[in-house]
Amino acid sequence: MSFSHLLFDFDHMLFDTDSSEALAFARALVQSGIDKPERYLPQYQSINQRLWRQVEAGTISPNDVKTLRFELLKTELGLNYNSAAVAENYITGLVECGELFPGARRLLEDLEANFSLGMITNGIGPVQRGRMERLGLRRFFDSVVISGEVGVAKPRPEIFALALAELGDPPRSNCLMIGDSLPSDIQGGQNAGIPTAWFNPKGTANFTSLEPTFEFANFDRLVDVLGDSAWGNHRK
């Protein structure tokens, strides 16, 4: 296969989302007078993951998650805080905390000359754009589509159609969706008729019926997957 357009996921793919969330969570709860916030992080993570699965299923919107996760946490654990205030402080923390995975920037620098790069991310617009601005990432991407801004999320094919339209509607066989989530990125790519590359750094077993076109454990292996396409066969 030869590719000209690469569609990247952001969270857990290029960006260390777990660290960002842990730091932002602790800061937001401390700002609301909650001691030892790390005690509540596992419960928060469980709630947050559950809500984002509902986003993927199309039953709630990304923007619904913003305050609802803290309302549910407050109810389940009997905490005393203003959910809206915690949510706002958390959003600020998500933008200000966290870094790219080692090697991610170099990967984008190596690929940008020979591919048209796009990003499709399930997230809240101000968070994702704020992170990209802080990290200086926007220059790498010809298209950035964020579910919270467009009202549709991966794995629905409509969000892929929006990204491809911004990239000039290239043949889908020449595109590659690259991400860490089987139900979001890989299912979404397949729904859109796009080959997929599953980022699986921990070697997680795939017990689903989904079959990614490629699987890779590190960024060097992704370059191997791209093969000759990475070195000038498809210049922008």
Bond into 42 cis (ω within 30): no
Say if 5-16+101-231 and 17-96 have the same CATH topology: no
Residue 9 among the catalytic residues:
yes
Catalytically annotated residue among 9, 64, 180, 224: 9
Does the pLDDT of residue 233 top 70, yes or no? no
What CATH code would you report for 17-96? 1.10.150.240
Amino acid in the structure at residue 41: L
The confidence score (pLDDT) of residue 105 equals 98
Domain boundaries, the chain: 5-16+101-231, 17-96
Q: What average pLDDT does the chain have? A: 95
pLDDT digits (tens, 9 = 90+) for 122-180: 999 999 999 999 999 999 999 999 999 999 999 999 999 999 999 999 999 999 999 99
224 as an active site residue: the answer is: no
pTM score of the predicted model: 0.93
pLDDT, tens digit (0-9, with 9 covering 90-100), for 69-104: 999 999 999 999 999 999 999 999 999 999 999 999
Residue 230 pLDDT level (bands cut at 50, 70, 90): low
Which superfamily, per CATH, for 5-16+101-231? HAD superfamily/HAD-like (3.40.50.1000)
Could you give the CA distance from residue 131 to residue 116 in angstroms, rounded to a whole number?
21
> Which own/partner pairs from 199-202 qualify as long-range (CB within 8 Å, at least 24 positions apart)?
199/9, 199/12, 199/13
Across 66-70, 101-105, 191-195, 227-231, least confident range = 227-231
Q: Cβ(159)–Cβ(153) under 8 Å?
A: yes
Per residue in 27-48, pLDDT (tens digit) is: 999 999 999 999 999 999 999 9
pLDDT of residue 127: 97
Predicted confidence (pLDDT) at residue 65 exceeds the cutoff of 90: yes
